[in-house]
Chains A and B, each alone.
Chain A
């Protein structure tokens, strides 16, 4: 990456995450093959301290910020990136590891590690957007391959990504899935969750788990009322709002409210 090249350059960076979103990228090989020789992709795994010089046309960032080093590293990534796109629930909302935000990190650090003093970790797991300006956030745990290709295509050709922010229910209706909530009484987070997965879970007679985070017009209080009618306890509702996008603001607010009403 030292020579000057006319090819658009992409860099993929990893922060605190499970690699699932990068795997999605690798699974797009058929689509990406069409780009062979047309773009340059550089990978920077989490362990690498180095930040290659860049600049990069587009940086794809996976993972959340959980350590003081990462809080610094993301600043340097931003500095060498023309566009910065975060991919996945960790990078866009803090991920499942943001469950720490609801507890005292010190306590489980000393429980989990033999020598907790060697573990430098932050109190909270935060999304990339809490640290630097982000040009586009691609949701999902993991991200959807089709949406990733769409975002890459959009930035390659200088247009805006076409990624909707409406609810999962729209995808259910488009694919002709019978609503599992209305027809079967199965609790479903679809009405408050952003589309993108193609409504996979309802198509398999499961309620939506909220992997893509809150849709753009979220009424979590009304959905909680519905979940209550379907027989869910407040404690269970706290749990369903606290998964991959626990720290996304509408979900965080709702789970905190439910926790307050459930603990007298």
Chain B
């Protein structure tokens, strides 16, 4: 399903792209449903953009945008009819492909006390609350940052040569149909442009959608990224894209790239983190960090889990589940009943160093795709781009912890 990256810096050729109107987009939803997919798309729920089951364009957040800052998320009315006029939502594709809780197995004891397997675990939609039963899923409206996060999980969970595939991930991923979306209106915490992961989807999708909205027209450019995507596209009522459409889509992405709310200077960042083991910045962060784990739960690439074994009251059945865990919990570093990362400073350091430095050595890319969620959803408003800048300043001779405090006073 994954093809080679498309050059994002220059305008693309029209090729096999198609332009559809609202009716054509509705047909896309219908075609996917007819082909047996459960279609998950952005919806408004509880004051945020959440991926849920959709059947009609009416389910989409028409006219909604968002405002995101460190520790703050608000929906806002845009004043137009855009269907995708917001940035990254409350969660990525992670709860769909890598649910919060997955049953790995269940065993029972028969009357003689001998163990009997009760077969393969049932397909499990997890506890993610996406309101849908088990796949196959079609995800509509996946942002470029989240697409890159899926690419990272494809490597980490989907079958590196040195570690076999995670069977549950592989099953969910294999059947997934991905409709990616070009971001037209990044939020205050987005920085995909710094990470080279957006705002325009460049690979790993079946279809890439760019919303073209002006005073006269409301159209959607659809570009195929896989044979299956092209096959679906052939069923949609539309017209072949012209150079002007491609130019308009290019313009949407260019404009978005220039309006990122955050930047992260990645130059030499790995070395800065590796040499920051004893930095005072960690203590300064720990004074604010709540060790609540929100950042890791919303991060599209964080994949840490733990194994929960339980027995029922009668002791005849045991169950093993894989549940999301986090390097911010003390039990996560528990060895022989004791935590080896007792301080919150050491946990934040572990997280950020893995994300931005050792991930590169381990998996070949940064562990951060610049989606901004860890910044937005942190109740203590901790901003990893600001903390990275503090570590850089400290390395360059300034007092990073002091810089960090000064920065907070001004925000």
Please tell me if A216 contacts chain B, counting CB pairs below 8 Å. Answer: yes
Please tell me if B124 contacts chain A, counting CB pairs below 8 Å. Answer: no
Contact B288 A222 (CB under 8 A): yes
Please tell me if B244 contacts chain A, counting CB pairs below 8 Å. Answer: no
Could you tell me the distance between the alpha carbons of A222 and B330 in the complex, rounded to whole angstroms? 18
- A179 with B379, Cβ < 8 A, contacts A174-B127, A219-B291 known: yes
Please tell me if B324 contacts chain A, counting CB pairs below 8 Å. Answer: yes
Q: Among B101, B289, B293, B311, which residue has its beta carbon within 8 angstroms of that of A169?
A: B293
Shortest distance between the CB of A39 and any CB in chain B (Å): 9
Using a Cβ–Cβ cut-off of 8 Å, how many residues does chain A contribute to the interface with B?
A: 46
Shortest distance between the CB of A237 and any CB in chain B (Å): 15
Could you tell me the distance between the alpha carbons of A162 and B308 in the complex, rounded to whole angstroms? 8
- A176 with B71, Cβ < 8 A, contacts A167-B293, A192-B290 known: no
Please tell me if B362 contacts chain A, counting CB pairs below 8 Å. Answer: no
Could you tell me the distance between the alpha carbons of A156 and B316 in the complex, rounded to whole angstroms? 12
**B316-354 contacts to A (CB < 8 Å):** 323-324, 326, 328-331, 344, 347
Please tell me if A153 contacts chain B, counting CB pairs below 8 Å. Answer: yes
Q: Which residue of A lies closest to B324 (CB)?
A: A174
Inter-chain contacts of A205 with B (CB < 8 A): 46
Please tell me if B294 contacts chain A, counting CB pairs below 8 Å. Answer: yes
Contact B71 A153 (CB under 8 A): no
Inter-chain contacts of B48 with A (CB < 8 A): 178, 183
Inter-chain contacts of A38 with B (CB < 8 A): 314
Contact B128 A176 (CB under 8 A): yes
Could you tell me the distance between the alpha carbons of A181 and B380 in the complex, rounded to whole angstroms? 10
- A179 with B329, Cβ < 8 A, contacts A31-B313, A34-B314 known: no
Shortest distance between the CB of A114 and any CB in chain B (Å): 47
Contact B313 A182 (CB under 8 A): no
**A155-188 contacts to B (CB < 8 Å):** 156-157, 159, 162, 164-167, 169-170, 173-179, 181-185, 188
Q: Among B127, B293, B308, B347, which residue has its beta carbon within 8 angstroms of that of A176?
A: B127
Q: Which residue of B lies closest to A170 (CB)?
A: B293
Inter-chain contacts of A184 with B (CB < 8 A): 47
Could you tell me the distance between the alpha carbons of A120 and B324 in the complex, rounded to whole angstroms? 50
- A183 with B46, Cβ < 8 A, contacts A157-B315, A166-B331 known: yes
**A205-228 contacts to B (CB < 8 Å):** 205, 215-217, 219, 221-223, 225-226
Q: Among B100, B128, B311, which residue has its beta carbon within 8 angstroms of that of A157?
A: B311
Contact A173 B46 (CB under 8 A): no
Label chain B's interface by main secondary structure.
loop
Please tell me if B35 contacts chain A, counting CB pairs below 8 Å. Answer: no
Please tell me if B283 contacts chain A, counting CB pairs below 8 Å. Answer: no
Contact A166 B313 (CB under 8 A): no
Inter-chain contacts of B308 with A (CB < 8 A): 162
Please tell me if B369 contacts chain A, counting CB pairs below 8 Å. Answer: no
Shortest distance between the CB of A222 and any CB in chain B (Å): 5
Contact B95 A153 (CB under 8 A): no
Please tell me if A190 contacts chain B, counting CB pairs below 8 Å. Answer: yes
Q: Which residue of A lies closest to B339 (CB)?
A: A216
- A176 with B95, Cβ < 8 A, contacts A165-B330, A183-B48 known: yes
Please tell me if A150 contacts chain B, counting CB pairs below 8 Å. Answer: yes
Contact B46 A149 (CB under 8 A): no
Shortest distance between the CB of B281 and any CB in chain A (Å): 16
Inter-chain contacts of A219 with B (CB < 8 A): 286-291, 344, 380
Could you tell me the distance between the alpha carbons of A174 and B297 in the complex, rounded to whole angstroms? 8
Residue-wise interface mask of A (140-152) relative to B, using a CB-CB cutoff of 8 A (1 in contact, 0 not) = 0000000001101
Inter-chain contacts of A188 with B (CB < 8 A): 379
Interface residues, chain A, with chain B CB atoms under 8 Å away:
31-32, 34-35, 38, 149-150, 152-154, 156-157, 159, 162, 164-167, 169-170, 173-179, 181-185, 188, 190-192, 205, 215-217, 219, 221-223, 225-226
Q: List 6 A-B contacts (CB under 8 A).
A: A149-B313, A174-B128, A179-B294, A182-B71, A222-B289, A222-B290
Other 19 A-B pairs with CB < 8 A, given A150-B310, A219-B289: A32-B313, A34-B312, A149-B313, A152-B313, A153-B312, A173-B324, A174-B100, A174-B324, A175-B129, A176-B128, A178-B50, A178-B90, A183-B48, A183-B73, A185-B72, A217-B328, A219-B286, A221-B287, A225-B288
Interchain residue pairs A-B with the least CB separation, the first 7: A176-B129, A173-B297, A191-B292, A217-B291, A191-B290, A178-B46, A169-B292
